[in-house]
């Protein structure tokens, strides 16, 4: 596989990825009959390449070792006649998705953490080859409403006076750093462990202590249905005669 120059910026790498992906999608959809005919099981190991100029090619793998770029799945032609056509195309699509990602992140090996994250975000906004070939619709992300956003990461409940009570994680993204500093000394009422922004916490509406969800066996999903949470200690005290 030849490349005149290797893209290096996030935008250049994504442009290269998009062109290769578009070429592969065309081979497996619009040009599928031609592609199917080229994948003769009697031939040697064949690969499906999508090139940065938007063209696709079914050919033998590169002879150089190691290759200039990661290589796509080898021998896709051998399984052609042993599978249902649609299943075979879906299999090629899955392998093509893996190959496209490997090429993109090979080219982006020198990107920093934030650049890699941005590259993946751009790629992830596009449907995969498999989704397009198998007619599967990408699952849309359900973004939480503003008044329940903190529940997805921790817990938000209403206290007895009807006011919203947020856990020490953070109530809104804009105030994340301030909230984290404010609650950095919060301790779990059960294990005594320090507050950790990566863990689910839930607050007692009676004593107003905070607990790791795992310590009191409450999951984020279960917390959604709890109108008033009482910690184990408060539950014991309330049940005493």
Q: Domain of 234: which CATH number?
A: 3.30.40.10
Clarify whether residues 116 and 224 are in a common domain. no
* Chain center to CA of 150: 20
Is residue 160 included in any domain, yes or no?
no
Rounded CA gap, 218 and 111, in Å?
40
Residue the block writes with tokens 């592969």: 24
Is residue 114 included in any domain, yes or no?
yes
Is residue 82 included in any domain, yes or no?
yes
Clarify whether residues 14 and 97 are in a common domain. yes
Count: domains in the chain? 2
- pLDDT for residue 111: 92
Please give the biggest Cα pair distance in the chain: 83
Q: Please list the rounded mean pLDDT of every run of 10 residues in the chain (241 residues).
A: 63 95 96 96 94 95 85 93 94 96 94 93 94 75 41 41 45 47 69 80 88 88 87 73 52
- pLDDT for residue 153: 39
> Could you list the residue range(s) of the whole structural domain that residue 93 is in?
10-134
CB atoms within 10 A of CB 175: 11
CA 74, 80, 81: angle at the middle one, nearest 5? 145
Is residue 55 included in any domain, yes or no?
yes
DSSP 187: B
pTM of the model: 0.57
- Show which of 134, 165, 198 is a domain's final residue: 134
- pLDDT for residue 5: 56
Is residue 158 included in any domain, yes or no?
no
Clarify whether residues 38 and 107 are in a common domain. yes
Is residue 202 included in any domain, yes or no?
yes
DSSP 194: B
Q: Is 130 helix (H, G, I), strand (E, B) or coil?
A: helix
- pLDDT for residue 183: 54
Q: Is 212 helix (H, G, I), strand (E, B) or coil?
A: strand
Is residue 3 included in any domain, yes or no?
no
Is residue 162 included in any domain, yes or no?
no
DSSP 217: T
Cβ–Cβ < 8 Å for 183, 209: no
Strands (E), 26-183: 47-50, 56-59, 156-158, 164-166
């Amino acid at each position: 596989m030849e490349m005149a120059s290797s893209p290096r910026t996030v935008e250049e790498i994504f442009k290269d990825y998009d062109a290769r992906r578009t070429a592969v999608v065309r081979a497996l959809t619009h040009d599928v009959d031609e592609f199917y005919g080229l994948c003769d099981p009697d031939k040697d190991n064949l690969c499906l390449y999508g090139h940065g100029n938007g063209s696709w090619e079914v050919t033998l793998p590169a002879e150089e070792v190691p290759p200039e770029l990661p290589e796509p799945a080898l021998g896709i032609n051998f399984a052609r006649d042993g599978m249902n056509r649609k299943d075979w195309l879906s299999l090629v699509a899955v392998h093509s998705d893996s190959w496209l990602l490997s090429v993109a992140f090979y080219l982006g090996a020198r990107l920093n953490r934030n650049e890699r994250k941005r590259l993946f975000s751009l790629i992830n906004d596009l449907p995969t080859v498999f989704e397009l070939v198998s007619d599967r619709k990408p699952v849309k992300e359900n973004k939480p409403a503003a008044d329940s956003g903190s529940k997805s990461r921790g817990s938000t409940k209403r206290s007895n006076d009807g006011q919203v009570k947020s856990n020490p994680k953070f109530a809104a993204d804009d105030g994340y750093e301030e909230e984290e500093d404010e609650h950095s000394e919060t301790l779990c009422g059960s294990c005594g462990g320090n507050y950790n922004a990566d863990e689910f916490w839930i607050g007692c509406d009676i004593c107003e202590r905070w607990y790791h969800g795992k310590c009191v066996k409450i999951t984020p999903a279960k917390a959604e249905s709890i109108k008033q949470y009482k910690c184990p200690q408060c539950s014991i005290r309330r049940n005493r005669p």
